[in-house]
């Protein structure tokens, strides 16, 4: 975060950067395995934010989806609602799903004054962008 930024400002800026990166990759690249991936497309290790920096060569879509589920769970927890599975839509919808779920977390955290949830969102978005 930059000096003078609120956690929400930093999270929104990082969300824009992630959305730009997803859009730049496009649906075709999002579903292709990265360099060094096995023939099956799986890296053999954990996927998502936990795999960031581990050299995992998963498909970008497989890196984004666990983050989507985490955001959905975080939003549900903040709102006191039951957790639900995020539907696996086509790669063309990943950016929209990320924008909506991150927006839900920001709104719910703002309503509760929960800066920790916003900082977690920011950190996960930074890790996601770096993994893409």
Domain membership of residue 29 (yes or no) is no
pLDDT at 38 over 90: no
CA distance 48 to 67: 6
Predicted confidence band of residue 54 (pLDDT cuts 50, 70, 90):
very low
Do residues 127 and 52 touch, judged by C-beta distance below 8 A?
Answer: yes
Domain membership of residue 65 (yes or no) is yes
Question: How many independent structural domains does the chain possess?
Answer: 1
For residues 73-96, average pLDDT: 96
Domain membership of residue 67 (yes or no) is yes
Predicted confidence band of residue 58 (pLDDT cuts 50, 70, 90):
confident
Domain membership of residue 127 (yes or no) is yes
Domain membership of residue 18 (yes or no) is no
What was the pLDDT predicted at 3? 66
For residues 45 and 6, the model is more confident at 6
pLDDT above 90 as % of the chain: 77
Domain membership of residue 75 (yes or no) is yes
Domain of 123 in residue numbering reads as: 60-132
Domain membership of residue 120 (yes or no) is yes
């Amino acid at each position: 975060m930059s000096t003078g930024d609120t956690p929400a400002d930093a999270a929104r800026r990082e969300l824009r950067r992630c959305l730009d990166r997803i859009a730049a990759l496009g649906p075709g690249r999002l579903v292709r395995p990265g360099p060094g991936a096995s023939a099956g497309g799986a890296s053999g290790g954990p996927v998502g934010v936990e795999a960031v920096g581990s050299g995992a060569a998963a498909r970008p879509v497989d890196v984004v989806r666990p983050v989507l589920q985490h955001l959905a769970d975080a939003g549900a927890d903040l709102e006191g609602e039951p957790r639900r599975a995020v539907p696996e839509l086509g790669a063309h919808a990943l950016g929209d799903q990320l924008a909506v779920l991150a927006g839900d977390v920001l709104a719910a955290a703002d309503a509760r004054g929960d800066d920790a949830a916003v900082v977690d969102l920011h950190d996960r978005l930074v890790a996601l962008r770096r993994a893409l």
